Structure 1
Amino acid sequence: MTSSTTGTTGTPDTPDTSGSAARKGSLAAFKGLLPYLAPYRRQFLLAGIALLFAAGATLAIPAAFKQMIDHGFGASVGARGIEHVNATFLALFGVAAVLAVATAARFYMVSWLGERVVADIRAAVYRHVVQQSPAFFETTRTGEVLSRLTTDTTLIQTVVGTSISLALRNTLLFGGGLVMLFVTSPKLTAIILGLLVLVVLPIVLFGRRVRKLSRDSQDRIADASALAGEILNAMPTVQAFTHESIEAGRFQHSVEGAFGTAIRRIRARATLTMLAIVLVFGAIVFVLWLGAHAVLEGNMTGGDLGQFILYAAIVAGSIGALSEVMGEAQRAAGATERLLELLAVRSDIQDPAHPRPLPPRLAGGARVTLDEVSFSYPSRPDSAALSHLKLDIAAGETVALVGPSGAGKTTLFQLLLRFYDPQAGGIRLDGIDIRDLSLHALRDAIGIVPQDTVIFSSSALENIRYGRPDASDEEVIAAAKMAAAHEFIERLPQGYGAFLGERGVRLSGGQRQRIAIARALLKNPPLLLLDEATSALDAESERLVQRALEAAMVGRTTIIIAHRLATVQRADRIIVLDEGRVVEAGTHAALVAHGGVYANLAALQFGAHAPAVA
């Protein structure tokens, strides 16, 4: 049976993990977030107003201290000096009250924005991922996608909910403090600025290395998550082969790799912070030393120097905070790029610009026509899975596909569901090329019972209702009865409300298969695809389900993939595929009498009881 498990390389729906995006600037990466920020302009405006009030209150504090020093302590002892000190401290309390209210309002608004925007991004990424074609999931591990949905979005939440606010706040404090430094002492301020120009360059250059390491750190975390997800989903196999220690060692190695990269990032960021603080504060201390000499020489008042010191502290603190914010922003830039790469992926399988509707459903099911269909998987372009396949299945006909593994049977199902498009030829459903139908309309007309049954972590009722979400409880139970599932479901502790466990671990293989059959029957589609639908059933269950399926096939077109020929002997027609071509077609009796590929397969399965073959 042809499968599509091999990775696809170079396809349009493969995310770029080469790291080329990491060479973009941080601002370029964050521009991709603008569509998610735009709907909340009002909240950003309110946060900005609160930010302005908080910054203004902070910048007013040094001016109050200057007044207190020069006109309070500096005044002659008496009622006037005491009154000035009292008024100054009363004003300081008022400033503190304004600062408290504005800071609380800013914190609430930006935190709300962080949570809201990240929720929108997570929903958008998930919605985008579930619409990708199978080629995307051949090359992208589930754990990596989950890492981007959780770890990467958490970093973006930090930026939107904290870092942007802190950056704007400290930018305002830096600008306002710088202006007030000029007002207080233009000479000392000019010296500070000259020194800052010399110290900022190495900080910027070192910051680029921090950003690259941040991107690498996120990639290693995603690798570890992907490995863990893969192993946890295969625990029975891991334990059956006693690979617990091996897999634990593999994960430990992956975690240690992520730890090593994180430590390099942390070390670089710590060095960046140290460099920024030492250089900036060193420059400020030098200038303040000059200011102290100016006071001693009578060129400045004590209040001017006190005010200058406080504003210098505000400017220095804002620069230090901005360097911290820059570190977070650089780390989040890598996470943003990874998410934007994921959102930029476009599937080859798209809805047509102007979808055509399917004709009204008739009682006989759907007609399926394959016209010279040729297809190769993108990962194996030189190996044809189907080659010039011609097949016309009448409405209401039951057709069985048989043949050796790799013959193209499952590939045909994948093309019918338009998981892939053929490179040549076309497929028509009721006379309409399936590429002219919307994906929803096409897949809504098809019911499938896969060989590998998928059971979701919910109740039996909801697992069956997955076939038709608007179905009533009575319709769900009726479908379960048709699939011979009602009896064992009723015996579950909570009946139809019983939780079936992750991937249906609380059910046997046959029970899971009957749940899947009930799901397909509930959908009631005109075209039914059965991929080894009874392969996991015991003899008694198979007999019950086979009878239910035969009843369900009435009034619809059914295509069956089967290796067990006993399940397809009553098909209207049996199509024998080999290397992607139809090599034989006919009824069971005719094909056995013909003595070809099918007759050989029948002889192998039925042994001595097989009809004579040529």
Structure 2
Amino acid sequence: MEPRMTTSRSPGPGLKALGPWLRVMAQRRARLAIGALLMLLTMVFAIGLLTLSGWFITATALTGMALAAGAAATLDVFTPGSGIRLFAVGRTAARYAERLYNHDTVLRLLADIRGRTFAGLARLPGRELARYRAGEWLNRLTADIDALDNLYLRLLAPPLVGLLAILGVAGVLALALPRLGIVLLAVLLPLWGVITLGMALAGRRPSARRIETLERLRVRALEHLQGLAELRAFAALGAHRGTLETTQHRLLDDQRRLERRAALGSALVTLGVQGAGVGILCLALLAFTAGELSAPVASMLPLAVLALNEGLAMLPAAFVQLGATRQAAARLNDQAALSSAEEGIHAWPLAPGEAPEVVFDNVSLRYPGMESTPALAHLDLRLAAGERLAVLGPSGSGKSSLAQLVARAFDPSDGHVRVAGRDVRDLAPVALRARLGYLTQHTELFHASLADNLRLGLPVDHGLGEEAIERALWQALWIVDLDGWARELPQGLETWVGEAGRQLSGGQARRVALARVILRDAPLVLLDEPLAGLDEATAGIIAERLDTWLDGRSVLMFAHRRDALPRCDRAWSFTAAA
């Protein structure tokens, strides 16, 4: 049975699931208000253009007929002509400004949401991360967050603008003839409710289901490609492909349902607006025959109603996807709940920069899904404050597991891991990791500049200016013997390292990761094979420079052999312990 992310399985979580993300958006309330005003201004120009054009054409035709009949008639063509040009140019400019400004706002909002989500993900310990596939976590940072871009640009501002437009046009009609405004509200307000709330209810189940199905399809597609050789070897390729096709058919079925319901909503908008326009036209003509309205005014009022189609046409397609937006928000809320559950109750008990003691007290560790084979069993070990301890052992002996326990990537199944006299489970994770420099076996570099990759190692509250930061970067590069190489790069520290650091050799990437640990300037340091993959001369240079930098810190170093490490005070071996 495959592990699944804990999410709400109801046809859609309530609107309260959107609350945390609405609060994130509220931090940019000024930009949101300006964007909504630009939308409204565009709508006003569109209604004004069609309405004034109808009045002008009708008035011009009637004046021409009067002159042809020999009657004396005059018409000011300059004022309405100028108005038409103003509305035409204004509509184009307002639409361009609205699209440019609102899309920039949405990109900023998505950046805020991604930053918040990634920060929560980074706080999760390894025991939570290991329970689910990487594709599922990636889906949170991509597809789920992308689903939230509907929230402002399609679900908040447009229906509000559409409603204001209906009320505004109804007000204009009421000024001409009160019963016309009442009739328009009686027709279009229920229509507005149907194409918003009604479409949201109609699409709630399939759109929420589509989010879950899309994640399963992406994860299984990746598994299919990555495990192609194994699936073929075990004659399981056809069965796995069949599962993929079944999932794909379910996704397509839901997409067809949503498209049909969105098409129905669009048809309702067209019928409703045009029906209201025809109704207003009939009432205006009756008013004209009764002498209550002039012919140009009677002709322009239904055109004002027809112009509302621009503000209402996109609402059904947006609201039919509301279930997907709510489901994505609920899934992200579940992740945020996991992150907040990891908050410890105690702050760091030592003075800044003071090296801590680390004690492993009868520690056992069993990884999720591997309970029958413990990675560590009844281990006792003590690292004194300011001591350098080399932990030696063959691959698979548990060296990396020790480091992950200190970093609280996992909690021990039995026993206690104490740092600075406190159980790590009681320490606030942010406080612990801020004072921990950890070089793992795996080197993670991002598709950014060398400087950007190095800055990731700086403490969050470093308080350094740009010049001080640059000096710190060069100092760290000097310790890992990369300063000369970095100065010869085409753009120095601003040279991009490529995706996953592909422009760097394995040894260079490893040393960049070590430089990040140095920049952390932490009192507790974990170094897992720090000199692996380096030639003897380079390893000797780095070991000598690290020796000075490590003074006064509590250091756990992990390797197969003691001679593969910088100087240490003592060594402890898994082989000897066994």
Task: Kindly indicate whether residue 18 of structure 2 is the aligned counterpart of residue 20 of structure 1.
Answer: no
Q: CA deviation at 1:82?
A: 2.0
Distance 1:49 1:355, change over 3 A: same
Which of 39, 53, 75 is the aligned partner of 2:27? 39
Q: Which amino acid in 1 is paired with 2:526? A: L
Q: What is the DSSP-based 3-state SS (H/G/I as helix, E as strand, rest coil) of the residue aligned with 2:380?
A: strand
Equivalent-residue separation in structure 2 for 1:139 and 1:32 (angstroms) = 25
Matched-pair contact (CA < 8 Å) for 1:451–1:535: no
When residues 491 and 250 of structure 1 are mapped into structure 2, their CA distance, relative to the original with a 3 A threshold, is farther
1:357 to 350, 357, 369: 350
Q: Cα distance 1:342–1:184, how it changes in 2: closer, same or farther (>3 A)?
A: farther
Q: Which runs of 5+ in 1 are unaligned?
A: 1-5, 10-14, 578-583, 586-596, 598-614
Q: 1:79 to 1:401 in 2, by over 3 A?
A: farther
Looking at structure 2, the residues matched to 317 and 516 of structure 1 have their Cα atoms a distance apart, in angstroms, of 54
> Are 1:126 and 2:118 matched, yes or no?
yes
Residue 479 (structure 2) aligns with: 479
Distance change in 2, residues 1:533/1:159 (3 Å):
closer
Report the aligned-residue RMSD.
5.4
CA distance in 2, matches of 1:506, 1:427: 39
Q: What is the 5 A alignment of 1:441-590? A: 442-443=432-433, 445-457=435-447, 470=469, 472=472, 475-481=475-481, 501-505=498-502, 527-532=524-529, 557-562=554-559, 572-576=570-574, 585=577
Moved more, 303-312 or 58-67: 58-67
Of residues 408, 413, 427 in structure 1, which corresponds to 2:417? 427
Shift of residue 278, structure 1, vs aligned partner: 3.7
2:263 aligned partner, one-letter code: A
CA contact (8 A) 1:534 1:545 kept: no
From 38, 43, 62, the counterpart of 1:73: 62
TM-score (norm 2): 0.71
CA contact (8 A) 2:390 2:562 kept: no
Q: Is the 8 A contact 2:176 2:293 kept in 1?
A: no
Give the deviation of 1:129 after TM superposition.
Answer: 2.3
- Of 169-178 and 336-345, deviating more is 336-345
Q: Return the letter of the residue paired with 1:175.
A: L
Is the 8 Å Cα contact of residues 277 and 305 (structure 2) preserved in structure 1? yes
Partner of 2:307: 314
Matched residues in 1 for 2:193 and 2:473: separation?
A: 69
Report how far residue 150 of structure 1 moved.
4.1
**Does the C-alpha gap of structure 1 residues 392 and 8 become closer, same or farther in structure 2, counting only changes over 3 Å?**
farther
In the TM superposition, what whole-angstrom CA distance separates every residue of 1:348-386 from its partner, at most 9, and x where no partner exists? 43254543234764xxx6532233445555666788655
Structure 1 contact 526–556 (Cα < 8 Å) conserved = yes
Aligned length: 554
**Are the equivalent residues in 1 in contact too, given 2:366–2:376 (CA < 8 A)?**
yes
Q: In structure 1, how many angstroms separate the alpha carbons of the residues matched to 2:182 and 2:388?
A: 89
Q: Taking structure 1 as reference, are residues 102 and 492 closer, same or farther at Cα in structure 2, changes over 3 Å only? A: closer
User: Shift of the alpha carbon at 1:172?
Assistant: 1.9
Residues 1:210 and 2:199 aligned together? no
Once the two structures are TM-superposed, the CA of residue 310 in structure 1 deviates from its matched residue by 1.9
Distance 1:230 1:63, change over 3 A: same
Distance 1:319 1:424, change over 3 A: same
Q: Which residue of 1 aligns with 2:264?
A: 271
Q: Distance in 2 between matches of 1:45 and 1:455?
A: 39
Provide the C-alpha distance between the structure 2 equivalents of 1:137 and 1:520, rounded to a whole number of angstroms.
22
d(CA) in 1 for partners of 2:446, 2:82: 65
Distance 2:129 2:76 in 1: 73
Q: CA separation of 1:108/1:163 partners in 2, compared to 1, >3 Å: closer, same or farther?
A: farther
CA positional deviation for 1:138: 1.9
The CA distance in 2 between the partners of 1:387 and 1:76, in whole Å, is 104
Measure how far apart 1:276 and its partner are.
3.9
1:135 is aligned to 2:133: no
Percent identity, please. 24
- In structure 1, C-alpha distance between the alignment counterparts of 2:539 and 2:61, rounded to whole Å: 101
> What is the alpha-carbon distance in structure 2 between the residues aligned to residue 491 and residue 202 of structure 1?
65
CA distance in 2, matches of 1:147, 1:524: 34
- CA positional deviation for 1:417: 1.3
SS at match of 2:350: coil
What amino acid is aligned across from residue 529 of structure 1 in structure 2?
L
SS at match of 1:22: coil
Secondary structure at 2:410's aligned position in 1?
coil
Partner of 2:401, secondary structure, is helix
Q: 1:8 to 1:410 in 2, by over 3 A?
A: farther
Deviations 1:422-450 (A, max 9, x none): 46654333545545655455445544443
Q: Output the CA distance in 1 between the equivalents of 2:77 and 2:551.
A: 96
CA pair 119-547 structure 1, distance change in 2 beyond 3 A: closer
Residues 207 and 397 (structure 1 numbering): CA distance in 2 closer, same or farther, change over 3 Å?
closer
Per the alignment, residue 177 of structure 1 pairs with 169
Give the structure-1-normalised TM-score.
0.68
Give SS of 2:118's match: helix
1:273 Cα deviation after fit: 1.8
SS at match of 1:34: helix
| Aligned 8 A contact 1:29 1:336 in 2 | yes
Give me the whole-angstrom Cα distance separating, in 2, the residues matched to 1:240 and 1:504. Answer: 29
- Once structures 1 and 2 are overlaid, which stretch shifts more, 491-500 or 34-43? 491-500
- Rounded to whole Å, the distance in 2 between the matches of 1:255 and 1:466 is 39
* Structure 1 residue 398 corresponds to structure 2 residue 396: no
3-state DSSP of counterpart to 1:392: strand
**C-alpha displacement at 1:114, in angstroms?**
2.7
Q: Where does the alignment leave 5 or more consecutive residues of structure 2 unmatched?
A: 460-468
Contact 2:203/2:320, CA 8 A, preserved across alignment: yes
Paired residue type of 2:110:
V
Larger Rg: 1
Aligned to 1:113: 105
Deviation at 1:139, TM superposition (A): 3.7
CA distance, structure 2, for counterparts of residue 34 and residue 353 of structure 1 = 31
Match of 2:130, SS state, is helix
